[in-house]
Amino acid sequence: MGGLTLGCSLQSRHGMKPLLPFSTPRSFFPIQSRRKLSLSSGCRNSASFVMGTIALNSSNRFVPGSTSASLQSMTEELVDVKSKESPVSGDSIRRRFLDFYASRGHKILPSSSLAPEDPTVLLTIAGMLQFKPIFLGKVPRQVPRATTAQKCIRTNDVENVGRTARHHTFFEMLGNFSFGDYFKLEAIKWPWELSTVEFKLPVERLWISVYEEDDEAFGIWHNVVGVPKDRIKRMGEEDNFWSSGVTGPCGPCSEIYYDFTPEEGHSDADLGDDTRFIEFYNLVFMQYNRKEDGSLEPLKQKNIDTGLGLERMARILQKVSNNFETDLIYPIIEKASELANVSYHVADEDTKMKLKIIGDHIRAIVYLISDGVIPSNIGRGYVVRRLIRRAVRTGRLLGIKGDGRGNLEEVFLSAIAEKVIELSTHIDSDVKAGASRILEELRREELRFVHTLEKGEKLLEEMLADALLNAKEKGTVPCLSGEDTFLLYDTYGFPVEITKEVAEERGVGVDMAGLDIEMECQRRQSQAARNAVKLAVGNDAELTENVPDTEFLGYDTLSARAKVEALLVNCNPVVNVSEGSEVEVLLNRTPFYAKSGILLVETENQQKAVVEVKDVQKSLGNIFVHKGTIMEGVVEVGKEVQATVDPNLRQRAKVHHTATHLLHSALKRVIGQETSQAGSMVAFDRLRFDFNFHRPLMDNELDEIEALINKWVGDATLLQTKVMPLNEAKEAGAIAMFGEKYGEEVRVVEVPGVSMELCGGTHVTNTSEIRGFKIISEQGIASGVRRIEAVAGEAFIEYINARDNHMKQLCSTLKVKTEEVPSRVDSLLEELRKARNEIPALRARAAVFKASSLVSKAFEVGMSKKVNVIVEFMDDTEAESLKNAAQ
């Protein structure tokens, strides 16, 4: 039996500085300082610790009046001698949580992107979002149990960040999930075992809340686990009935709280008192689906969704006063303190709050940009822009004017972001891989804001001074008008939240009603962005309960028999649709890929119905929605159809799809690996590719990109497609698209030596099928996002032919050869310029001539007869020329 001596402070792996902002007390660890722990290499997986039955060992039942001492000898065996991490570091907590549930049959799955596919939420707010289609029964479960460490973003309480001990924008949610497997009994006993045995929390410090009508959960906590009734609180729907959004999976929940001051006793204890209690584990018993009308329907399978806040558990185990002082965040705050030339240890509360805001926001900013969210004025982009600008202003209030490296630009966030990237290893490996892109995007956005910030700050101060003066003169409450607030936002880039904060500091209100009127257009744009990922499938959750995933046959065939699973007209399910109607058709199998342009023909019972399909899209899960018009006959649910793809259109789409992959690769080679795809569109007549880049491309860069792609086309390389595990594909270098959701098995499309991407689409067999590639435009479509439109294959030939015809017509008109067109056009433009310059002089001379001819028509007016007047209507002479002639 080996031994390990633990020191009484948590040390950084990067030098010997303590990571935590306090002198290291003897009570830092939940064990006696300098005590040697006996270790057993196989203990954590032994049968004595993996519970094979439902019953709990009596040693970890709640015994009134007991302490955790009775558990000490057993829990000491759980410390892994081989781990180089501190037993209470944030990375250790994450690892031990995942290992705990893995040993109980859970599959460890990666975190999903912060930019989810789910149209009901803007950003990933909980660990269950990636499993929502499974909970709804839209897609079959791949495993019965799963566990994750999910990156999350919540901005609804952004004003509280730094002011409280627990509010964050970015945080990690550790979760265990059951998809129709275990339910309340295991979902309660395992979190208790994790908390009291694995993490050794004293049982007398733990309190429980349950939904007021959930007698089953109350009974398990009291009768099975042994928690006294006076430590189980029944709470209402607002506190203990959980949902992921307006619609979707939901159910009663139970929570575990940690009591920081148990000496205050049980009498009238309020779990909402966050100075005494912190909720660190939430157990959701997912039994229902909330529909759009607010009604609840039972789910076909009962599921479990739990969430343990990593930052909160780290605070408890590391025995610090708030989440920001844990080793997950404090190194970031320490860097901000260095740039601000202040010491967090001795700073006043206002300074600490500002440092916490920066430490929190920069984590969110880095992970959002890493997941492909680029600063903009709408949707997700506005969230990251708002956080960047809030962090910048907070830094300026602390006196931070640069990155501490002597750079003249007054930007500093990228220097702090480097610390976030350094700490990201165990959270998301893609962050370090995309470090240069993240830092460049952040520096560019901060610099853009700094350039307008000073003007905006000066104008805001003037507005606030005027508001205070007007209020004083009129004896009213000072208020900044909605028009002024909008001006700051629209012209000077001031987020409304910052304007409100500054105004509040000066004792001035903001006319939000007036602002709402001014912001109406922006809100419509934002809503459009939120809905951009929605398909036209109305009542999606309700409909897809009974619609299976569509089997895609397009890799092998252009025609197949299929069954009509559902029909939609104006987003509403119908049984049949007749000629002339716009319709959306859902089939059980299809050869059609997105926007393939097809004809859908029904032939059963010698009846014929033809649907011209103009677009094909995928709904949540893997349901193909065929949108089109019924040209003939009637289509009915349940009938068989012959689905046939137009082979010419399919080939044109395949060519543009493969050309898109080549374009992506060429961009990375010419302008840098940091660029990434922001969107794309593959059509029959062209392709469109959006990418993240901070400036327009130069002509020589566009020429180089075209030349590279046409070389690859001429190389006549055979494409390779493989299906492999996701982790193997990433290790092999395959590019995964931001925001895309992948299963454990993925399809990899490779042009050997050129491109390798995860892709489920159809492609050419050989690059020579592309025939030629031509960029037809390059332009900016949003801040930091560029767009290239191009043609390939048949569309390339058509484009070249059309351009050639235009040139022939031009040569005929100008009566010159092709190579002489530029010089002839220049000559004509010069002649035109000279002619235009001569026009004013000619007009002046004409006006003088006309004026002289009118002198004879002058007549005297007035008694003195000394005023001569000429009256004449002249509609062919400019006023300026006539005035000059009169002079």
In this predicted model, what pLDDT tens digit does every residue of 850-865 receive, in sequence order? 777 777 777 777 776 6
> Of the ranges 69-83, 240-254, 372-386, 485-499, which one carries the lowest mean pLDDT score?
69-83
C-alpha–C-alpha distance, residues 759 and 747, integer Å: 6
Residue 840: predicted pLDDT: 79
pLDDT 10s digits, 766-790: 999 999 999 999 998 877 789 999 9
Across residues 70-80, what is the average pLDDT?
34
Residue with tokens 């209100």: 509
Q: Are 745 and 793 in contact (CB under 8 A)?
A: no
Share of the chain above pLDDT 90, in %: 38
84-328 adopts what CATH topology? BirA Bifunctional Protein; domain 2 (3.30.930)
Q: Are 286 and 303 in contact (CB under 8 A)?
A: yes
* pLDDT interval class at 244 (50, 70, 90): low
Q: Is 25's pLDDT higher than 50?
A: no
In this structure, what token pair is assigned to residue 439? 């830092």
Distance of CA 410 to the CA centre of its chain: 28
HEC profile for 804-816?
Answer: HHHHHHHHHHHCC
Across residues 868-884, what is the average pLDDT?
70
Residue 14: predicted pLDDT: 35
Measured between its terminal Cα atoms, the distance across the chain in Å is 113
Q: Where are the domains of the chain?
A: 1-49, 84-328, 334-531, 552-645, 650-810, 833-886
Q: Is 29's pLDDT higher than 50?
A: no
C-alpha–C-alpha distance, residues 605 and 616, integer Å: 27
Q: Is 486's pLDDT higher than 90?
A: no
DSSP 185-202: HHHHHHHHHIIIIIS---
168 is in an annotated binding site: no
Per-residue CA distances from 743 to 149, 445, 740, 761 (Å): 17, 34, 10, 15
Residue 597: predicted pLDDT: 47
What number of residues does the chain have? 887
- Which amino acid makes up residue 828? L
Residue 22: predicted pLDDT: 34
* pLDDT interval class at 887 (50, 70, 90): low
pLDDT 10s digits, 826-859: 999 998 988 888 887 887 777 777 777 777 777 7
Residues forming a β-bridge with 303: 179, 286
Q: Is 307's pLDDT higher than 90?
A: yes
C-alpha–C-alpha distance, residues 467 and 477, integer Å: 9
C-alpha–C-alpha distance, residues 292 and 814, integer Å: 65
Gyration radius of the chain over CA positions: 34
- Which amino acid makes up residue 831? E
694 is in an annotated binding site: no
Mapping DSSP to helix (H, G, I), strand (E, B) and coil, where does residue 304 land?
Answer: strand
pLDDT 10s digits, 541-580: 445 445 777 888 888 888 888 888 888 888 788 888 888 8
Residue 546: predicted pLDDT: 59
pLDDT 10s digits, 347-372: 999 999 999 999 999 999 999 999 88
* pLDDT interval class at 312 (50, 70, 90): very high
Closest by CA to 369, choosing from 645, 556, 115, 10, is 115
Cα dihedral 409, 413, 418, 422, rounded to 10, equals 170
Q: Is 136's pLDDT higher than 90?
A: no
Residue 338: predicted pLDDT: 94
- Segments in 408-539 forming alpha helices (H): 413-422, 429-433, 435-474, 482-492, 496-505, 512-518, 520-531
Average pLDDT, whole number, for the chain? 80
DSSP 209-260: EEETT-HHHHHIIIIII---GGGEEEE-HHHHEEESSSSEEEEEEEEEEEES
661 is in an annotated binding site: yes
C-alpha–C-alpha distance, residues 778 and 797, integer Å: 20
**HSE (side-chain half, CA atoms, 13 Å) at 669:** 16
Q: Is 718's pLDDT higher than 60?
A: yes
Residues forming a β-bridge with 758: 748
- 450-457 long-range contacts (CB < 8 A, ≥24 apart) are 450/392, 450/409, 450/410, 450/411, 452/492, 452/493, 453/392, 453/393, 453/396, 453/492, 453/493, 455/492, 456/488, 456/492, 456/493, 456/494
- pTM of this prediction? 0.60
CATH assignment, 552-645: 2.40.30
Q: Is 610's pLDDT higher than 70?
A: yes
* pLDDT interval class at 876 (50, 70, 90): low
Note the maximum CA span of the chain.
130
Residue 408: predicted pLDDT: 52
Backbone angles phi, psi at 709, to 5 degrees: -65, -45
Q: Are 152 and 271 in contact (CB under 8 A)?
A: no
DSSP state of 78: G
106 is in an annotated binding site: no
Residue 801: predicted pLDDT: 93
- Which amino acid makes up residue 59? S
Q: Is 134's pLDDT higher than 50?
A: yes
Q: Is 39's pLDDT higher than 80?
A: no
Q: Is 668's pLDDT higher than 90?
A: yes
Closest by CA to 26, choosing from 7, 12, 13, 11, is 7
Q: Are 296 and 307 in contact (CB under 8 A)?
A: no
* pLDDT interval class at 581 (50, 70, 90): confident
- Which amino acid makes up residue 567? L
**HSE (side-chain half, CA atoms, 13 Å) at 39:** 14
Higher pLDDT, 589 or 710: 710
In this structure, what token pair is assigned to residue 632? 């003939």
Q: Is 157's pLDDT higher than 80?
A: no
C-alpha–C-alpha distance, residues 454 and 469, integer Å: 23
Residue 8: predicted pLDDT: 33
Across residues 404-416, what is the average pLDDT?
77
Residues forming a β-bridge with 634: 578
650-810 adopts what CATH topology? Threonyl-tRNA Synthetase; Chain A, domain 2 (3.30.980)
DSSP 85-146: S-TTSHHHHHHHHHHHHHTTTPEE-PPPPSS-S-TT-SS--SGGGGGHHHHTTSS--S-SEE
In this structure, what token pair is assigned to residue 600? 């859908």
Residue 736: predicted pLDDT: 75
